[in-house]
Amino acid sequence: MTRDEMIVALQSGVCRVQFTKVNGEFRDMQCTLNQVVIPSEHAPSSDKVIKENLEVIRVYDTIAQGWRSFKVDSVKEFSTPLEVKA
């Protein structure tokens, strides 16, 4: 799955991403980029500029309730979401 395909899936709902962290640990994360799912207090601020790194995807972790990121090339398994209804 490409980076762009992952982003589209994350924007449509909560996905399960299994990957190896930089320190070698395995991580199983449920995450999203869907604004309906992200609590308003955690919504991205439009005045904050974050430099985009094409090797990394920044996501909202629905279990830890915070922003996390993962390297695209470290993904072992990516499960696409069920569509979230607004």
pLDDT digits (tens, 9 = 90+) for 12-71: 999 999 999 999 999 999 999 999 999 999 887 766 666 778 999 999 999 999 999 999
Residue 37 structural domain: 3-79
DSSP reduced 3-state for 12: helix
pTM: 0.86
53 belongs to a structural domain: yes
Report yes or no on 39 lying in a domain: yes
Task: Tell me if 67 is assigned to some domain.
Answer: yes
**Alpha-carbon gap, residue 18 to 6, rounded angstroms:** 13
DSSP annotation of 26: E
- Judge whether 33 lies within some domain: yes
Q: Is residue 51 part of a domain?
A: yes
Asked if residue 85 is part of any domain, the answer here is no
Number of structural domains in the chain: 1
Q: 60 in a domain, yes or no?
A: yes
With respect to residue 86, please indicate whether it lies within any of the assigned structural domains: no
CA 58 to each of CA 11, 13, 29, 85, 86: distance values in angstroms, whole numbers, following the listed order: 12, 15, 12, 22, 22
